[in-house]
A and B are shown apart, each in its own frame.
Chain A
Amino acid sequence: MIADIITPQAKHFAEGVQSVLRGHENRSRRVVLLKGNLVQNARSESRGISARVTKNGRYGFSSVASYTEKDEETVLKAATENALFLDQRGASPRRTYPALSGGTAPAPRAITDTEQKRLIDVCQEIDNYVNTKYPDLLSRTVVYTEDSQDKIILASDAAGGHVTYPRCYIYVMMSAESKSGAPVELFKAFGGAGGFDDHFTDLSAIWPGIDELHSRLMDKKEGVYAEAGNKTVILGGMMGGMLAHEAVGHTVEADLVLGGSVAGPNLHKPVASEMVTLVDFAGEAFGRPTPLPVYLDDEGTLAKDAVLIQDGILTGYMNNRETAAHFGTEPCGNARAWDFNDEPLIRMRNTCILPGKNTLDEMIASIDDGYYLIDSSNGQADLTGEFMFGVSLGYEIKHGKLGKALLDTTVSGIAFDMLKTVDMLSDKVVWSSSGFCGKKQPMPVGMGGPDMRCRITIGGR
């Protein structure tokens, strides 16, 4: 982990500006076995120092790819010059934001390193398991991926601290030949926040997940195309999380609200069924650490939960310090940067639709003709709330029972319209945290939700 050479540098902060200094190291480890062939075996580290200086609401930012006391002076000077460059040319005043109370984030979690050989060994063990037990597959891939962020943040007018964000996953991907001769694929991610030893010292917990993945792939091999149209469906927790993130979350990021998102004119109005409450959690949710806990953001704001929809009413946005001042609210710690040379942007943390009271069985039994959509390959949404998710795993529901598996399809809709059709929520939340959100920079995010009965447009063939 990086040494704290940042904190003593407060003396270099200039008067009359707002400054944040960040020491930052990202690490990644990656092993890829494709059909048993080791096609990637790589380790990477990047480290540097950045400064952001704000003058009359205009930001100057600079970073260098090294980590010494001298570098801190360099970036502060360059960032100040950049802020002045814009301030001198700016035609009209911009929004400014007030100082925050100070404070220190909780002590960081340890980032542990694991020998590359152990990473390869565990991937080979999983690959051997899959290959031995399921030799009928067309292809198999096992990926170990680990990334961690280690940051020391010092702000001239806010909180600071040393924070870390380690996470690691193993992806298992399988493909098989369908009855038409074309391949079908599925994948599953194992792991979460923390290091290798937190998740992969005992693989016995993984085998049932792999067996389930294969079983579902065999279902999909015999799968059918969904019938296109507006249907009653149950979105599984993974899909609900994707909806919370893509279709609603992005539209309530305050920078996109100011850019004209559909959330702007809908604040304090009903945007969903009264059953729906949506929260962007920081460090804890439901009495446990969130999938990717965040305690301090990169502007020096101590993190707290942001309630976005309460009982169907849009109650707030996710902000940075500047937009929080604009909307007359307090920032909750959503300004985050991915790499040492990235500026903080408004990002989600752990966005989740809260659970309801139904069981999944009750929900399936309630549908005469519809679909249970379990997992998503990807998703995108627009400022208007128009969204699209790829559906990689789903089943028909016929007469209250699960039917045939579905081939890959897509669902789409307008988030605030679709959320008003939610009429049942299951009592269990499923989280996912292995992906990256993309918005100029990548960012690890958690997303979750319960099973959700609603109406949605599904694409057929």
Chain B
Amino acid sequence: MYDIKQISRKLDALLKEKGAAVYEHCVSESEKQELNTEKADFNLFRTIFDNGVSVTVIQDGKKGSASGNDLSDEGLEKVVSDALLGAASSVEDEANAIAERQEPEVFQSGCWDADMPRFYDGLKAMMDTMARDYPKVNPMMLIGDHTRYHVYYVNSNGTCFENRNGLYHVGIEMSGSDGEKNTGLDYTGFCTTDLDTPLISQGSMKQHMEATEASLNSVPLPGKFEGTVIFTPDCLGEFMYMLAGNYIMGGVIMNGTSQWLDKVGQQVASEKITVSLKAEDSRIADLQPFTGDGYKAENVTVIDKGVLNCFLLNLYAARKTGRPVTKNTSFAMVIENGDTPLQDMIASVDKGLIVGGFSGGEPGANGEFSGVAKNSFYVENGKIVGAVTETMINGNLEQVFKNVIAVSKEQVCNGGSVLPWMACSGIVISGK
């Protein structure tokens, strides 16, 4: 293991020695222990030690960045030289800057030390429970890891942040099979510090296993109609990510293709929708204490009862567009729950789908999307009729979040986000 504070001090000295006045750098080390299974049998155990060093230099308004994983003196020398050369080759831009000084702070979260024998037993128990309770679900690949990392960030304005974090992650790819009937692939995962609660009871593991088994009973969905779609929490996360990419994030604000450029302070979604990025939330294990720009992270409400509060802009994008910087660049997202129990939400659907996954083309800048509804179920007269295959959904991202009928009372926390089910109208559903 390295003394990354010592390496950080070396970097500082090197940068000053070479005449850099405005800079930021980050040194990290990590250790991952990862157990892999294939068809419920452990077949691979990996132990990975990694390091990271990144340097950004701004000289006369010109910015250069370099990174690597060699923490030797030669490695540090090279990354500093590359960053300086990059800056010298660069273009002057007054938007290039580093964060202003903030008080030094040390953060620590999660579980630093891995208990791999116990984690192994927990994963094995999960597979045993699956085999007993969900015999038609095939756990094609289960990966569990404990990853810990130690990061040290410094900038030339005197900001200095240190963070140590350790977490267990579990991810599973599964499919259903029953004689000659097979389902498609489903995936889910979560991160946690909790090895006391059975792993199968965490995140949305059980919902996915139930859905995979139920997917073995598919029904034809002929024709095309406009109906109600209930997005599961995992799928809602996918759609929220697409929404952010199309309307809220720095790239589309800088290039001017966002359709919400002049919508801050205005209603852009249903008043049932409140979306926040969290820096502190006891439900979320994977929190980012500071941003890549060197800002201490804050809780940021992006959409409040349907009103757009802000865009997601790093320091460069903020200065470039004359807007405030967003002091949270994580996706530790919470969508506030509503007051409709999930069962009532399903019961209220005349004709529609519960959509568990979306396999679609990236939406165009106009927000139009179309793709295959995966792990999805047809609902008619308030009842789940059966799973669907070869079914497409088409719509417009902005309209999806405007046409919200209900948000569920229940939420799912996967360690990285807390999300409800969401029902919306006006989506075109096409069967084969």
Contacts and interface: CB of A to CB of B under 8 A. Distances in A.
Given A65-B69, A262-B182, A183 B365 contact: yes
Given A65-B70, A378-B362, A255 B38 contact: yes
A298 interface: no
B141 interface: yes
A43 B66 contact: yes
B65 A41 contact: yes
A61 B66 CA distance: 29
A151 to B, nearest CB: 16
B39 interface: yes
Interface residues of B, number: 75
Given A82-B45, A341-B50, A383-B182, A459 B175 contact: no
Contacts of B141: 259
A35 B255 contact: yes
Interface in B93-111: 93, 95
A61 B65 CA distance: 32
Contact of B68 (A44, A255, A414): A44
A407 B369 CA distance: 11
Interface in B13-44: 38-39, 41-44
A383 B368 contact: no
B320 A86 contact: no
B362 A86 contact: no
A83 B45 CA distance: 7
Contacts of B359: 380, 382, 388
Contact of A459 (B66, B182, B183, B370): B370
Contact of A383 (B65, B88, B175, B432): B175
Contacts of B88: 117
B85 interface: yes
B189 interface: no
A141 B255 contact: yes
A39 B86 contact: no
Contact of B42 (A58, A65, A390, A409): A58
Nearest to B33: A82
Q: B45, B82, B141, B173 — which one has the most chain A CB atoms within 10 A of its CB?
A: B45
Given A39-B254, A386-B184, A391 B361 contact: yes
Interface in B170-189: 173, 175, 177, 182-185
A241 B104 CA distance: 52
Given A61-B45, A66-B70, A139-B256, A185 B65 contact: no
B49 interface: yes
B371 A410 contact: yes
Interface string B365-382: 111101110100000000
Contacts of A329: none
Nearest to A410: B370
Contact of B371 (A34, A185, A388): A388
B368 A407 contact: yes
A399 interface: no
B129 interface: no
Nearest to A42: B65
A315 B256 CA distance: 50
B364 A408 contact: yes
A63 B48 contact: yes
Contacts of B184: 382-384, 386
A204 to B, nearest CB: 24
A64 B368 contact: no
B239 interface: no
B386 interface: no
A256 B72 CA distance: 41
A377 to B, nearest CB: 5
B257 A115 contact: no
Nearest to A36: B91
B41 A92 contact: yes
A38 B91 CA distance: 7
A82 B70 contact: no
A459 B348 CA distance: 27
Contact of A62 (B47, B370, B372): B47
B66 to A, nearest CB: 5
Contact of A85 (B45, B68, B183, B256): B45
Given A42-B66, A410-B360, A94 B43 contact: yes
Nearest to B65: A42
B318 interface: no
Contact of B365 (A115, A184, A341): A184
A147 to B, nearest CB: 14
Interface string A71-96: 00000001100110110011110100
A116 B366 contact: no
Contact of A259 (B41, B175, B316, B428): B175
A38 B96 CA distance: 10
**Which of B46, B68, B365 gathers most chain A CB within 10 Å?**
B46
Contact of A175 (B44, B69, B257, B259): B257
B413 interface: no
Contacts of A38: 63, 90-91, 93
Contacts of A391: 361
B366 A120 contact: no
A451 interface: no
Contacts of B255: 34-35, 138-139, 141, 175
A370 interface: no
Contact of A390 (B65, B86, B185, B361): B361
Contacts of B368: 407-408, 461
B67 interface: yes
A62 B47 CA distance: 5
B372 A388 contact: yes
B432 A457 contact: yes
B394 A42 contact: no
Contacts of A389: 361
Contacts of A183: 257, 364-366
Interface in B192-219: none
Interface string B304-319: 0000000000001000
Contact of A78 (B47, B224, B366, B432): B47
B90 A41 contact: yes
A34 B253 CA distance: 11
Given A38-B90, A65-B51, A86-B43, A410 B364 contact: no
B64 interface: yes
A139 B360 contact: no
Contact of A42 (B86, B173, B185, B364): B86
Contacts of A61: 44-48
A461 B428 contact: yes
B8 interface: no
B163 interface: no
Given A260-B175, A388-B361, A461-B394, 4 more contacts: A38-B93, A42-B64, A43-B86, A409-B370
14 contacts: A34-B254, A38-B90, A41-B90, A46-B68, A60-B44, A61-B45, A63-B46, A63-B47, A63-B50, A184-B365, A255-B38, A259-B38, A413-B390, A461-B370
The 9 closest A-B CB pairs, nearest first, are A390-B361, A182-B366, A117-B89, A183-B365, A382-B184, A459-B370, A259-B140, A82-B45, A139-B255
